[in-house]
Amino acid sequence: MVVNVNIPGINNIHNVYSNMLSLQRNMIVTATFSIVIITISHKLKKKLKIMSLCLALCILFISVYLGIYSMQNFEFYLNKIQNEIPDYIPIKQWRKMKYVNYSFIIIVICLGIILSINKL
């Protein structure tokens, strides 16, 4: 049985945009954290160094996943409500956020690989 419930704010496009930005911020914070771990790992002993690099790469993977997940969900939402979006919403600019997000992901992956190889 499907019940249609009209809850105010449940389909608010600004809330969805804000959540997407929040996920991107989390991606940036976790990527920064993992890069810091990679950078300071050279001061550790060999066994701890390898463990810290593995941990940092796992965190980096989570960061990349957060970025891809946030953009895919945001694109899905925008495509679903495409005909219902008010004119005052800058939808074209919002859709361009994916390029910023994917660019950051590419930079983070490259930086993570370069630093990891350099620190081994």
How do the pLDDT tens digits run along the chain, 120 residues long? 444 545 555 677 888 888 888 988 999 999 999 989 888 887 888 888 888 888 988 999 999 998 999 899 889 888 888 888 888 888 888 888 889 889 999 998 898 888 878 766
Across 64-87, b (16+ Cβ under 10 Å) vs e yields bebbeebbeebeebbeeeeeeeee
Domain count within the chain = 1
74 domain-assigned: yes
12 domain-assigned: no
92 domain-assigned: yes
Distances in whole angstroms, Cα of residue 39 to Cα of each of 29, 49, 66, 111: 15, 10, 22, 11
1 domain-assigned: no
pLDDT at res. 2 = 47
pLDDT at res. 59 = 92
pLDDT at res. 10 = 62
Write out the residue range of the structural domain in which residue 95 sits: 18-119
5 domain-assigned: no
